[in-house]
Structure 1
Amino acid sequence: MVYLSSTLLKHGRKIKDLRFDQTWKDRIRIFAMGGTGGNGMPKVGGIGGPGGNVIVQADSKVQSLDKVLKKHPTKRVRAEDGGSSRSTRLIGEVGESVTLKVPIGITITTDEGEQIADLCKNGDNFVVAKGGMGGVEASQFLGCVGEKRPVRLNLKLLGDVGFVGFPNAGKSTLLKAISRASPKIANYPFTTLRPNVGVCEFEDFRRISFVDLPGLIEGAHQNIGMGHAFLKHVERTRILLFVVDINGFQFKSNSPIRSAFETIIILNKELELYKKEMLDKPAICAITKMDSKGSQKKFEELQEALSDMKNVITDPNLINPEFVPERLINFSDVVPISAKFSPKTVEYLKFQVRGTMDRYESRENEKLLQELETQISTKLSDKSNIF
């Protein structure tokens, strides 16, 4: 009877309710094995062919690690063995290598957590398991076994602007309004279970990519909720865009209601606890759902609190001391928007983001020029000392 009921419920479930994006993978562990080298032929000095390598290569056409799993469902990847020397072929064939195509932004680490490669550009590749050498006189014409080791492939998305916010803050709605992306949107928390990337193109053909990430909850730095699965993607973005609901946030019916100001402070704290360097990134705060009742008054109160943030956070009656960060994030602008009903506010936000990015890039270029000038002057001084 139990089996019958579960079967009926399973087949009665609507297709539209299924969440296919839950299968999206951004990290996997594989066991890589290089091919064994072929044996040589002692009588005539024949040399065995080397075994193939296992190579991981970044490809702009690949969006997730799903293809790797489909091709290698056991997560064991072995390259071809080298050919042995024989009377008809004194030098054995080279074993065929296996190339795993992965998304741009993959980091390769050992089980101990040591990072051994970072594939940030299209075409970047790394040999994770080398093939064994073919049999030669030094090895008594015996082929060597290929390298074998487990490695972890971890995707950290590359994007210009990363959305930071609690669930149901309007991030997906904003992404849809600001770009041509079509994320899943619904009025419940954790609608977004995988990152969505949208590209905004300006009239002068300038393109800026926006990354809508799964919502944070308190304790994300400890990997609570989607925790590190969210925060690791923020690391690679150039600008942080805080997306905060003007009405605040309540995770569950029995959870405390956080005001918009508390939300900003908690997000600030979570980023700080995860990695302090995150607070060095340029940041803008978008206050969403400004079409809701009483939003204008709430926004004015928020502006007042933000203008006197250092004093407000020291008052334990207003902010829980546990949420107070050691260092406050500096917003270049706080922009009120209504992604659904006010395209003008979204347009204004787009140009504010562009302006912030231009200033950031100019600063980075100045740093690179200064470093280059320092290197050139150092080399010139070294040469003059020689003569």
Structure 2
Amino acid sequence: MTEGNFVDYVKIYVSSGKGGKGSTHLHREKFIEKGGPDGGDGGRGGHVFLVGNKSLWTLFHLKFARHIKAGHGGDGGSSRSTGADGEDKFIEVPLGTVVKDHETGEVIFEITEHGQKEILVKGGKGGLGNWHFRTSTNQTPRYSQPGMPIEERDVLLELKVLADVGLVGFPNAGKSTLLSVLTSAKPKIADYPFTTLKPNLGIVAYRDFQSFVIADIPGIIEGAAEGKGLGHYFLRHIERNSTLLFLIPADADDIKEQYDILIDELRRYNPELLDKDRIIAISKTDMLDDELKVEMKAELDKQFNGTPYLFISSVAQQGLTELKDKLWAMLNTPAVE
């Protein structure tokens, strides 16, 4: 999937079908000139459903299909025959899709499981035929119910990437490079900020044919919680990661300061993000000698105050096995009640 094909935000208009009208037919056949009412009911209008599909990773297929309408119900007929139901419409979306009302911003529901099916708009109910309105004093009703009207709304679909681990860091911290060596993903890599403009997903192969999913989130800049840089565009993708991997380059002016800025941006965007498990990877450590690593470790032990961290190098492939072991252990440690 190319970067341009990754779409995680789309507005669509959906409309259900209207219900068919009931019939006012009066029964007629040979030798029966004035039969009673036998008008059938109208069929219901079609619903519009959203369905979770684990094979989809983007909302790109909805980018050019912004108007989705279900079929109208058929009218009732004679002999109490019910009109045909309108055709239902099924919209497949990737797991992690949040559905919001465009006008109010209210979250309607979220799609998080494969095969999960939710109704966006309900089809109109079919009207009753005149057969339902016969009484002892009105044996020949010549009226019926019209079908219920359509239901329509504008909705926003937002994709929050479903991944086990979210890579968090400043632009040019080496996140894409790490993803490329841990997984078979092929993110765009270059030595300048904001190479990654879309989240990249990769599957990390672990021991005994096990695996977990890691997401390279576009780089954070200071002020991102207020929308600066890529702002909310990427921060929402972090909300669904169960573990956060902070990546800070060893050549940063102040490693602890960068970490504090990243933590502060997450806190200002959504304080609940700080409840997630986290681990810090100091990248590009192939440029450090052993003596410098010992000095840095002594300092970082004080600064990080128990937050786990380790030294890695994506280019030299140092510390990657230990990193995968730690991530796997964090992902599979039962939560303490």
Common fold: TM-score over 0.5:
yes
Provide the secondary structure at the position in 2 that maps to 1:241: strand
Deviation of 1:119 (Å): 0.9
Query: How far apart are the structure 2 equivalents of 1:114 and 1:192?
Result: 30
Q: Which residue of 2 aligns with 1:36?
A: 18
Deviations 1:85-133 (A, max 9, x none): 2348821111011111000111111121211111111011211111111
Deviations 1:297-354 (A, max 9, x none): 37834751551468xxxxxxxxxxxxxxxxxxx62x211111011x241111111111
The answer to whether structure 1 residue 129 and structure 2 residue 121 are counterparts is yes
Q: Which residue of 1 aligns with 2:213?
A: 209
2:43 to 40, 46, 49: 49
Which structure carries more helix by proportion?
1
Pick the structure with greater CA Rg: 2
The answer to whether structure 1 residue 147 and structure 2 residue 129 are counterparts is no
2:71 to 77, 80, 85: 80
Deviations 1:39-80 (A, max 9, x none): 11112221111110111111011111111224x1xx121101
Q: Which residue of 2 aligns with 1:284?
A: 279
Deviation of 1:141 (Å): 2.3
Deviation of 1:24 (Å): 2.1
Instruction: Say whether the 8 Å CA contact 1:25–1:64 is kept in structure 2.
Output: yes
Residue correspondences, number: 312
Deviations 1:347-383 (A, max 9, x none): 1111111122222xx12xx53xxxxxxxxxxxxxxxx
Distance 1:239 1:309, change over 3 A: closer
Higher relative contact order (CA 8 A, sep 6+): 2
Query: How far apart are the structure 2 equivalents of 1:334 and 1:269?
Result: 18
Provide the secondary structure at the position in 2 that maps to 1:287: strand
The answer to whether structure 1 residue 21 and structure 2 residue 3 are counterparts is yes
- The one-letter code sitting in structure 2 at the alignment partner of 1:55 is F
Q: Which residue of 2 aligns with 1:334?
A: 309
Distance 1:348 1:20, change over 3 A: closer
Q: Which residue of 1 aligns with 2:299?
A: 304
1:113 to 96, 105, 127: 105
Deviations 1:135-193 (A, max 9, x none): 21589321111211111111111111100001110001111111121111111111111
User: What value does the CA root-mean-square deviation take over the aligned residues?
Assistant: 2.3
Distance 1:294 1:221, change over 3 A: farther
Instruction: Say whether the 8 Å CA contact 2:51–2:111 is kept in structure 1.
Output: yes
Query: How far apart are the structure 2 equivalents of 1:61 and 1:301?
Result: 44
- The one-letter code sitting in structure 2 at the alignment partner of 1:235 is E
Deviation of 1:33 (Å): 0.6
Structure 2 counterparts to residues 252-263 of structure 1, below 5 A: 258-263=253-258
Give every structure 1 segment of 4 or more consecutive aligned residues whose post-TM-superposition deviation is greater than 4 Å. Answer: 293-296
Query: How far apart are the structure 2 equivalents of 1:243 and 1:302?
Result: 16
Query: How far apart are the structure 1 equivalents of 2:303 and 2:204?
Result: 34
The answer to whether structure 1 residue 269 and structure 2 residue 292 are counterparts is no
The answer to whether structure 1 residue 98 and structure 2 residue 98 are counterparts is no
Distance 1:41 1:295, change over 3 A: farther
Instruction: Say whether the 8 Å CA contact 2:206–2:324 is kept in structure 1.
Output: no
Q: Which residue of 2 aligns with 1:60?
A: 54
Distance 1:272 1:200, change over 3 A: same
Q: Which residue of 1 aligns with 2:171?
A: 167
Instruction: Say whether the 8 Å CA contact 2:39–2:80 is kept in structure 1.
Output: no
Provide the secondary structure at the position in 1 that maps to 2:260: helix
Distance 1:306 1:110, change over 3 A: farther
Distance 1:167 1:302, change over 3 A: farther
2:322 to 341, 348, 354: 348
Q: Which residue of 2 aligns with 1:358?
A: 332
Query: How far apart are the structure 1 equivalents of 2:281 and 2:67?
Result: 45
Query: How far apart are the structure 2 equivalents of 1:106 and 1:273?
Result: 23
- The one-letter code sitting in structure 1 at the alignment partner of 2:44 is P
Q: Which residue of 1 aligns with 2:243?
A: 239
